[in-house]
């Protein structure tokens, strides 16, 4: 097992933990944290491929910077929506938000 | 420099519109009529820019951005969709007064994101453009005034959306690992080397999932009914028309990369196509809320569009493009009626349509034609679109797929006819006053009816255009 595989494996584990958390958690903040884990797994993947395989060492780094920037915007939108939901139903548990059905 | 600006004309117009609307959203009190007039004027300009830029070709931004007939066709479609949606926003009863300038602003940034997306030929550009359009929609959905289902819908949309985009990014990282480049042209060149590695195929499939989400195809369709119901009617109209067109464009661009050489990809797409059609149609039958029903029907229509995409032939792609156009026109017509009938911005039950043929004969006629078109009855555009897609799939030897599609089209007739029955045959429990229809609305109705029939009977011109456009992506 060379070191590229180690990184890829760690990223995959991180991604799966994130996905599991997203499906398992009922609190919206917990779900948001899980999403961040998944995004970081992607970043790790890009950096690992970039370091070991890519001829041009800048591409992966740029990709990771973009992902981090967009993840920040995403967190801002998610938190504001969670806040709006809390104001209305006094809870951030997804089980409580179930008026839409069918 | 001037040439580059010419290439970038539709996006530049859109950017100008976004900046103007941003300026208009700054003062504390703003006359809604004035903002709406500005938005209408600028979006007319954008359609003009889209027309002017239709036959441009070239590359921008270090080859990361490609302007060709394929992208320009979709940009024109998006500009027209925005104009149409703005056209039914004169009375924005579903959105609080003080948020209305922002409402127009985010509609514009969303269109800008999708315009950038259909031209992007580099994975990071694609991602940033996709998120620009998605983030705008995440904010638009909870802008509705009134009860709190809008925020709930917004939260659901957001979380399903960011999950899909995480999966997409994960897929992109594997493609980057296989190809060592993020340019689509380079990915297509080196494709024979890696298409048989399982990791790379998984990467491509995961990348597609971001667009399955946009298209509301199985297994990323969960958001559709909730968001369609929870969002303001005008926002739903936009999501149901423009956002679908951009998703089909990107699915075509990305599946074209593999050029039909991967059987795994084909198998997976076939499963998704069948699942979307069947699930959407079966779930639509039991709905009582009109927008929820249209949401499930949009899941089914995502399946029909996928049928054209998965043939991965020029014929299939051009018929999928035509189908997208058809879907946009007929779905917009249906939603326009929803917006007009729900004059207070409320949700409509199918039973609320009772007696519509007497309250507003023209709206009832448009609704009937739109639903016949969605069901695929000649001589409407929906029939021609379905026929082309099925014929393309048939020529590629997917007999069973076409058979399932046919059965589904028959199933869908049931719930469309239920709506028509409510509008034409059922009498309302208590007499309701007739709906006032203004001159522009009347004109819009006639235009939509004409478009649905004319495109259905004479699709040749548009088809020639889509066939020419598809030649650019191989």
Q: Report pLDDT for B356.
A: 80
**Mean pLDDT over residues B298-325, rounded?**
88
Residue among B241, B81, B234 at smallest CA distance from B150: B234
In angstroms, the CA B142 to CA B149 distance is: 8
**Is residue A78 domain-resident?**
yes
Q: Report pLDDT for B396.
A: 82
**Mean pLDDT over residues B12-30, rounded?**
86
Q: Compute how many other C-beta atoms are within 10 angstroms of the C-beta atom of residue B368.
A: 20
Q: How many domains does chain A have?
A: 1
Confidence of residue B1 (pLDDT cuts 50, 70, 90): low
* Residue B417 Cα, gap to closest chain A Cα (Å): 20
Chain center to CA of B40:
20
> Buried (b) or exposed (e) across B235-262, using 16+ Cβ within 10 A?
bbbbbbbbbbbbbbbbbbbbbbbbeeeb
A99 touches chain B (CB under 8 A): yes
Asked whether B96 and B146 are in contact (CB, 8 A), the reply is no
Q: Report pLDDT for B50.
A: 85
Confidence of residue A99 (pLDDT cuts 50, 70, 90): low
Q: Which residues of B touch A (CB under 8 A)?
A: 123-124, 127-128, 131, 135, 138-139, 142, 147-149, 151-156, 158-159, 162-163, 166, 169-170, 172-174, 176-177, 180-182, 225-226, 229-230, 286-289, 292
- Chain B residues whose CB is inside 8 A of the A39 CB are 166, 169
Complex prediction ipTM: 0.91
Confidence of residue B2 (pLDDT cuts 50, 70, 90): low
Confidence of residue A13 (pLDDT cuts 50, 70, 90): very high
A75 touches chain B (CB under 8 A): no
The pair of three-digit structure tokens given for residue B278, joined into one six-digit string: 């069947």
Q: How many domains does chain B have?
A: 1
The pair of three-digit structure tokens given for residue B379, joined into one six-digit string: 């001589």
* Residue A1 Cα, gap to closest chain B Cα (Å): 17
A76 touches chain B (CB under 8 A): no
- Chain B residues whose CB is inside 8 A of the A46 CB are 173, 176
- Chain B residues whose CB is inside 8 A of the A35 CB are 159, 162-163, 166
A46 touches chain B (CB under 8 A): yes
In angstroms, the CA A78 to CA A82 distance is: 6
The percent of residues in chain A predicted with pLDDT above 90, rounded, is 39
Contact B128 A66 (CB under 8 A): yes
Lowest mean pLDDT among A28-37, A90-99, B110-119, B204-213: A90-99
For residue B242, the surrounding DSSP H or E stretch is helix B233-258
On the question of pLDDT at B19 being above 70, the answer is: yes
Q: Report pLDDT for B359.
A: 82
On the question of pLDDT at B232 being above 70, the answer is: yes
On the question of pLDDT at B191 being above 60, the answer is: yes
Q: Report pLDDT for B332.
A: 92
Residue among B302, B304, B133, B333 at smallest CA distance from B222: B302
Contact A100 B163 (CB under 8 A): no
Asked whether B152 and B146 are in contact (CB, 8 A), the reply is no
Coil/strand/helix, residue B28: coil
Reply yes or no: is the peptide bond before residue B337 cis, omega within 30 of 0.
no
Which tens digits make up the pLDDT trace of B55-65? 778 788 887 78
Asked whether B366 and B297 are in contact (CB, 8 A), the reply is no
Closest-approach residue (CA) in chain A for B165? A39
Chain center to CA of B2:
32
* CATH value at residue A67: 1.10.287.3510
Q: Report pLDDT for A72.
A: 92
- Chain A residues whose CB is inside 8 A of the B225 CB are 100, 102
* Residue B431 phi, psi dihedral angles, 5° rounding: -60, 135
Residue among B209, B360, B236, B243 at smallest CA distance from B293: B236
Q: How far is CA B244 from CA A20, A29, B227, B326, in A?
A: 29, 30, 14, 12
SS (H, E, C) A11-67: HHHHHHHHHHHHHHCCEHHHHHHHHHHHHHHHHHHHHHHHHHCCCCCHHHHHHHHHH
Q: Compute how many other C-beta atoms are within 10 angstroms of the C-beta atom of residue A62.
A: 14
Contact B124 A88 (CB under 8 A): no
Write the DSSP string, B152-206: HHHHHHHHHHHHHHHHHHHHHHHHHHHHS--BHHHHHHTHHHHTTSHHHHHHHHH
* Residue B178 Cα, gap to closest chain A Cα (Å): 9
On the question of pLDDT at A17 being above 90, the answer is: yes
A68 touches chain B (CB under 8 A): no
Closest-approach residue (CA) in chain B for A55? B180
* Residue B132 Cα, gap to closest chain A Cα (Å): 9
Q: Report pLDDT for A97.
A: 65
Choose the mutation target among B140, B145, B166 for the interface with A, i.e. most A CBs under 10 Å: B166
* Residue B13 phi, psi dihedral angles, 5° rounding: -60, -40
- Chain A residues whose CB is inside 8 A of the B153 CB are 100
Asked whether B437 and B362 are in contact (CB, 8 A), the reply is yes
Contact B142 A45 (CB under 8 A): no
* Residue B261 Cα, gap to closest chain A Cα (Å): 25
Give the range of the structural domain holding residue A19, as residue numbers without chain letter. Answer: 3-89
A47 touches chain B (CB under 8 A): no
Contact A85 B155 (CB under 8 A): yes
The DSSP output letter for A92 is -
Which tens digits make up the pLDDT trace of B359-402? 888 888 898 889 999 888 888 888 888 888 898 888 888 888 88
Q: How far is CA B346 from CA B148, B230, B315, in A?
A: 13, 10, 42
Cross-chain CB nearest to A97 (options B152, B173, B229): B152
Closest-approach residue (CA) in chain A for B179? A54
Coil/strand/helix, residue B348: coil
Give the range of the structural domain holding residue B374, as residue numbers without chain letter. Answer: 2-470
Tokens 């979380």 belong to residue: B159
The DSSP output letter for B427 is P
In angstroms, the CA B151 to CA B381 distance is: 36
Contact B174 A73 (CB under 8 A): no
Q: Report pLDDT for A101.
A: 60
Is residue B343 exposed (0-12), middle (13-18) or buried (19+ Cβ within 10 Å)? exposed
In angstroms, the CA A33 to CA B226 distance is: 24
A71 touches chain B (CB under 8 A): no
Reply yes or no: is the peptide bond before residue B219 cis, omega within 30 of 0.
yes
In angstroms, the CA B325 to CA B67 distance is: 20
* Residue B45 Cα, gap to closest chain A Cα (Å): 30
- Chain A residues whose CB is inside 8 A of the B228 CB are none
Q: State the first-to-last Cα distance of chain A, in angstroms, to the nearest integer.
A: 49
* CA torsion through residues B409, B411, B417, B419, sign: negative
**Mean pLDDT over residues A65-73, rounded?**
92
Closest-approach residue (CA) in chain B for A43? B173
The size of the A-B interface in CB pairs under 8 A is 116
In angstroms, the CA B41 to CA B36 distance is: 9
* Residue A68 Cα, gap to closest chain B Cα (Å): 11
* Residue A2 Cα, gap to closest chain B Cα (Å): 15
* Residue A89 Cα, gap to closest chain B Cα (Å): 8
Q: In the predicted model, what is the mean pLDDT of chain B?
A: 85
């Amino acid at each position: 097992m060379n070191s590229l595989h180690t990184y890829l494996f760690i990223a995959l584990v991180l991604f799966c933990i994130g996905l599991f958390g997203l499906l398992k958690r009922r609190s919206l903040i917990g779900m948001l944290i899980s999403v961040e884990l998944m995004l970081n797994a992607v970043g790790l993947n890009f950096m690992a491929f970039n370091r070991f395989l890519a001829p041009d060492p800048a591409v992966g780094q740029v990709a990771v910077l973009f992902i981090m920037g967009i993840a920040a915007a995403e967190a801002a939108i998610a938190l504001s929506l969670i806040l709006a939901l809390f104001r209305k139903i006094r809870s951030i548990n997804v089980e409580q938000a179930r008026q839409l059905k069918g | 420099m001037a040439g580059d600006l010419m290439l970038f004309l539709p996006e530049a117009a859109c950017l100008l519109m976004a900046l103007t609307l941003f300026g208009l959203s700054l003062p504390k009190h703003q006359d809604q009529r004035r903002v709406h007039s500005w938005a209408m004027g600028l979006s007319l300009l954008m359609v003009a820019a889209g027309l002017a830029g239709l036959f441009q070709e070239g590359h921008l931004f270090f080859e990361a951005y490609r302007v060709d007939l394929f992208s320009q066709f979709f940009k024109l479609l998006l500009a027209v969709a925005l104009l149409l949606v703005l056209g039914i926003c004169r009375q924005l009863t579903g959105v609080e007064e003080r948020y209305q300038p922002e409402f127009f602003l985010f509609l514009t940034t969303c269109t800008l994101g999708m315009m950038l997306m259909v031209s992007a030929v580099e994975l990071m550009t694609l991602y940033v453009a996709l998120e620009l359009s998605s983030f705008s929609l995440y904010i638009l959905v909870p802008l509705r005034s009134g009860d709190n289902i809008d925020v709930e819908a917004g939260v659901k949309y957001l979380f399903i959306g960011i999950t899909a985009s995480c999966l997409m990014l994960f897929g992109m990282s594997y493609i980057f690992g296989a190809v060592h480049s993020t340019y689509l042209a380079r990915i297509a060149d080196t494709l024979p080397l890696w298409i048989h590695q399982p990791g790379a195929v998984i990467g491509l499939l995961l990348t597609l999932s971001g667009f399955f989400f946009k298209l509301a195809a199985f297994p990323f369709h969960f958001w559709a009914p909730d968001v369609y119901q929870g969002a303001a009617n005008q926002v739903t109209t936009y999501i149901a028309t423009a956002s679908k067109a951009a998703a089909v464009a990107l699915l075509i661009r990305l599946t074209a990369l593999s050029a039909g050489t991967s059987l795994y990809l084909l198998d997976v797409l076939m499963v998704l196509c069948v699942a979307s059609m069947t699930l959407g149609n079966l779930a639509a039958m039991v709905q009582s809320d009109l927008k929820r029903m249209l949401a499930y029907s949009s899941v089914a229509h995502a399946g029909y569009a996928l049928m054209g995409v998965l043939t991965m032939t020029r014929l299939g792609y051009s018929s999928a493009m035509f189908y997208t156009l058809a879907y946009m026109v007929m779905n917009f017509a249906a939603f326009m009626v929803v917006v007009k009938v729900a004059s207070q911005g409320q949700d409509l039950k199918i039973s609320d349509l009772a007696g519509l043929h007497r309250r507003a004969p023209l709206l009832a006629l448009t609704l009937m034609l739109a639903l016949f078109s969605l069901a695929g009855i000649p001589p409407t555009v929906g029939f021609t679109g379905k026929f082309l897609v099925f014929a393309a799939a048939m020529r590629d030897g997917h007999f069973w797929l076409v058979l399932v599609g046919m059965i589904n089209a028959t199933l869908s007739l049931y719930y469309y006819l239920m709506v028509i029955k409510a509008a034409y045959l059922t009498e309302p429990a208590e007499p309701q006053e007739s709906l006032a229809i203004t001159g522009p609305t009347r004109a819009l109705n006639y235009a939509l009816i004409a478009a649905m029939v004319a495109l259905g009977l004479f699709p040749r011109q548009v088809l020639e255009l889509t066939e020419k456009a598809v030649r650019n992506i191989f």
